[in-house]
Amino acid sequence: MAGSIIVIGAGVGGLAAGIYGRMNGFDTKIFEMNAVPGGQCCAWKRGGYTFDGCIHHLFGCAPGSRLYGLWQELGAMPRAMVQPEECTSVLAPDGRLFRDYYDLDRLRAHMTELAPGDAAAIDEYVRGCRAFVGADRLGEMMLGTGAGRARALVGMAARLKWLTPTMEKFGRRFKDLFLKRAVPQLVYSNPAAPLFVHLVRHGYGAAGSLQWPSGGTLPFALSIARRYKELGGEIAYSSRVERILTENGRAVGVRLADGGEHRADVVISDADGRKTIMDMLEGRFVDDGVRRACGEPPETTAWSVHVYLGVKRDLTGEPSAMIMLLDEPVEIAGHRCETLEMQIYGFDRTMAPAGKSVIKAELFSDYSYWKRLAGDRARYEEEKARAADRTIDVLERRWPGLRAQVETIDVPTQLTWERYMGGTHGFANMPAKKASLWSGLKGAGGDMTLPGLDRFYFVGVWASMSGSLFGNALSGRRAIQELCRRLKRPFIIT
């Protein structure tokens, strides 16, 4: 009988696998290469400022919802939360600011003030937002009963007309030139994103389900790790796994970078899929599908460079997130930027000393741009400094005098993420394949297993194909559920 589990990585997926593993009576040990848990769900201190690596929108903050229940099981809820007023905001070059308020009456009045001639498009937008408020359809799809899932599907089917247009296409409905340009940017500056994605997100926000954990990402991750330890789980930090040991087509343990070997009945990997398959398992358990999934990740991605600024300026009245539309493109980090997206943490006073604030600018960039520079440390550092410098130039347009108020700067790139959490091309770690809409809705777009390898599971991004905390937490739950099913044991939640 399988009684012990080794988990590689203490990201939310790995921690969740450990927690549900303990609930179901398995001996569990997580090997994490960093000194802290959380993986991408990370934050760090610089000179009194907290620089947060992760959360923009945390789904599952409305008590009573399925997703909230997931966070409760994992020890992350209840906790102190902050509810930003808007999903995001967009700043025009002339200084006009569009705040995408969750309060729909306020949103309508605000948009009408900005663009009085756009009543029809505003009406359509607000109607779309309203159509998605209230029901926890993602939670029902992923965690609900058969009846709940059926209700969620019917609810989604009734909203199919919102599924097809992209943000770009929907934005064309506005006559006002500012809103025409602003609306397509609302999903993390990605005009190709489906409108549906934005409306689901906005609907969750309006229902109070999208909030910010007070103190940010790290206390959130630490609370999940605490829950795991309270259940009797073990974590070994600063322990990098180099190989997954196999015998007769079964995973039987791991070898660490220090040469130590550890054995268990089941191995679960929360680490990057490509590295798990090609390095830790030396490419021995692949078929054509797996080989294709291990193909090159995208070269250009959003958020590939972050510019963190700790500033001696009070930004408490500013929106929580803002996309600046630029009148002329600016080259930053080797990329031609027509917009600049940022988070402004003034809404959470714990992120900076009194009277000071943190801004995080999120830049598009190419992986190979930084990889080329990495061979020459001085040039790499110089380019990071230049990216920060140009970013500050742009931010000066909103906050004149900001440059002189900057006290601390930090600029992680995709290479920083790779080094920190072992990803390929930064943090995304997605397999190179398309998830079907159906599996995407269930949060199970990727593969949990490998051909020819028994007693092995993936959790995290490779298994979920989801770039969300709840999707990856759920993958850990699923893996243990599947293990219990195989062992013909009931799946228990305590």
Ligand X SMILES: Cc1cc2nc3c(=O)[nH]c(=O)nc-3n(C[C@H](O)[C@H](O)[C@H](O)COP(=O)(O)OP(=O)(O)OC[C@H]3O[C@@H](n4cnc5c(N)ncnc54)[C@H](O)[C@@H]3O)c2cc1C
Q: Residues 52, 321, 399, CA angle at the centre, nearest 5°? A: 100
Count CB atoms within 10 A of the CB of residue 374: 13
Sole window of 7-15, 61-69, 91-99, 364-372 interacting with ligand X (rule: CB under 6 A):
7-15
Decide: is 76 part of the binding site for ligand X (CB under 6 A): no
d(CA 476, CA 40): 16
Give the E-state strand segments of 270-345 in sequence order: 300-311, 321-332, 335-344
Q: Which of 2, 23, 55, 135 binds ligand X (CB under 6 A)?
A: 55
Q: Taking the alpha carbons of 313, 319, 320, 321 in that order, is the dihedral positive or negative?
A: negative
What is the smallest separation between the CB atom of 197 and ligand X, expressed in angstroms? 13
Sole window of 79-87, 223-231, 329-337, 462-470 interacting with ligand X (rule: CB under 6 A):
462-470
Sole window of 74-82, 192-200, 383-391, 463-471 interacting with ligand X (rule: CB under 6 A):
463-471
What is the x/- site pattern for ligand X, positions 9-48, by CB under 6 A?
Answer: xxxxxx----------------xxxx----xxx-------
Count CB atoms within 10 A of the CB of residue 421: 24
Q: Which of 6, 7, 43, 54 binds ligand X (CB under 6 A)?
A: 54
Structure letter (DSSP) for residue 296 = P
Asked if 356 contacts 314 with a C-beta cutoff of 8 angstroms, the reply is: yes
State how far Cα 33 lies from the chain centre.
20
Decide: is 241 part of the binding site for ligand X (CB under 6 A): yes
Sole window of 161-169, 346-354, 384-392, 461-469 interacting with ligand X (rule: CB under 6 A):
461-469
What is the smallest separation between the CB atom of 85 and ligand X, expressed in angstroms? 17
Q: Using N-to-C axis directions, what is the helix angle for 367-374 and 414-421, rounded to 10°?
A: 80
Count CB atoms within 10 A of the CB of residue 328: 6
Pick between residue 40 and residue 65 the one whose CB is nearest to ligand X: 40
Sole window of 2-10, 189-197, 289-297, 337-345 interacting with ligand X (rule: CB under 6 A):
2-10
Structure letter (DSSP) for residue 102 = S
What is the smallest separation between the CB atom of 200 and ligand X, expressed in angstroms? 13
Pick between residue 171 and residue 422 the one whose CB is nearest to ligand X: 422
Phi/psi of residue 106, each to 5°? Answer: -65, -40
Binding site for ligand X (CB under 6 A): 8-14, 31-34, 39-41, 53-58, 240-241, 270-271, 303, 421-422, 427, 429, 460-461, 467-469, 472
